[in-house]
Amino acid sequence: MATRMKAAIFVEPGRIVLDEKPIPQPGPLDALMRITTTTICGTDVHILKGEYPVARGLTIGHEPVGVIEKLGSAVQGYREGQRVIAGAITPSGYSNACLCGCLSQDGGHGKHGFKAMGGWRFGNTIDGTQAEYVLVPDAMTNLAVVPDDLTDEQVLMCPDIMSTGFSGAESGGVRLGDSVAVFAQGPIGLCASAGAKLMGATTVIGVDGIAKRLSMSRAVGADITIDYHAADPVEEIMRLTDGRGVDVAIEALGTQGTFEAALRVLRPGGTLSSLGVYSTDLRIPLDAFSAGLGDHRIVTTLCPGGKERMRRLMEVIRAGRLDLKPMVTHRFRLDDIEAAYELFSNQRDGVLKVAITP
């Protein structure tokens, strides 16, 4: 086996480059995974632009599909050569946060076991997946075996996009017969729309400004789409719901405008389920919030991880409930990842997601 590998590395704001690194050796709880397919996430673009700080020299990426190359000495229950994925969030399994079900806010060995966003390690606090190999920490908690009948691209959205998007519907508590509005129909918003429909919402409304995304929104589950260039989404949703508002509004972009619109279309007693990564303070308008007396809920969710989550998401795909392959609009070799970043970060050519193969 080679000792060095290619990896997409954060050099400085504005520069992620393909470079060489040693192939890492797994510690006792780790697994070394050979990447067969990975992708670029909007968060990686934030990192590229220097908007989200990571250490220089870090390998970027958090969406791995691959094969177990080598298991740590204490890892049981797997064998080398198995096809696996791991979530973008890799909880330890043993922290206090994990043990009370809060897998994403994992404080690891920390004294009290909680750390904001602590479960997000790939491409954030440890080397990520845009490389030929990646170390998966706490492998027994995180490695999910891919069923033979699913291809890499079929499961490529599970680690982040699908897990995050679905969680928007799940944390929102979507129930049979609900009306749900989803603000922004990028990859995560599309999965939120799909998740809302799969949970039984009967009026799923997708909002975006790009025709192709609105058309994909209808394909994955939206009953109605609103182009915000053509109509005011708040007015339109209130009209569609006969003045009642929606049971659940999902924010899937991360801006004041979409957050506020989501609040304004919520029925009294409804839930705003927020998925976006914000970059400014948020404002809650007094009127949209009924001065605090509207029994509103605002819930936020960071991409759920862990192998059981991955198993469930793969079951959804395997059962034919949702096909996310059309979301992969472009394909690149790892050698060409800089071009992939150029395309993806500029949202050129109608790109939704890219597949990167080493």
Question: Quick one: which segment of 7-15, 23-31, 127-135, 331-339 binds its own copies (CB under 8 A)?
Answer: 23-31
Torsion of CA 250, 202, 204, 199, to 10 degrees: 50
- Residues 227 to 286 in contact with its own copies, rule: CB under 8 A: 241-245, 254, 267-269, 274-286
Instruction: Decide if 327 contacts 187 (C-beta within 8 A).
Output: yes
Shortest Cβ distance from residue 47 to its own copies (Å)? 13
Size of interface with its own copies, in residues (CB under 8 A): 96
Cα-to-chain-centroid distance, residue 19: 26
For its own copies, the binding residues in 299-328 under the rule CB under 8 A are 299-302, 306-309, 311-313, 315-316, 318-319, 321
SS (H, E, C) 146-166: CCCCCCHHHHCCHHHHHHHHH
Q: Which of residues 337-356 bind its own copies (CB under 8 A)?
A: none
Residues numbered 90-119 forming contacts with its own copies, rule: CB under 8 A:
91-94, 96-105, 108-118
Residue 223 interacts with its own copies (CB under 8 A): yes or no:
yes
According to CB under 8 A, which one of 138, 152, 208, 236 is a site residue for its own copies?
Answer: 138
Q: Which residue has the tokens 């053509």?
A: 230
**Residue located via tokens 């182009």:** 227
Shortest distance, CB of residue 17 to its own copies, whole angstroms? 26
Range 34-56 burial, b when 16+ CB lie within 10 A, else e: bbbbbbbbbbbbbbbeeeeebee
Residue owning tokens 């998966």: 136
- In terms of phi and psi (left: phi > 0; alpha: psi -120 to 50; beta: otherwise), the region of 166 is alpha
Nearer to its own copies, 310 or 340 (CB): 310
Q: How many CB atoms lie within 10 A of CB 152?
A: 18
Residues 153 to 172: which contact its own copies by CB under 8 A? Answer: 166, 170
Residues 35-64 that bind its own copies (CB under 8 A): none
Q: According to the binding rule CB under 8 A, does residue 76 interact with its own copies?
A: yes
Quote the least distance from Cβ 331 to its own copies, whole Å: 28
The nearest distance, CB 34 to its own copies, in angstroms, is 22
The CB-of-278 to its own copies minimum distance in angstroms stands at: 5
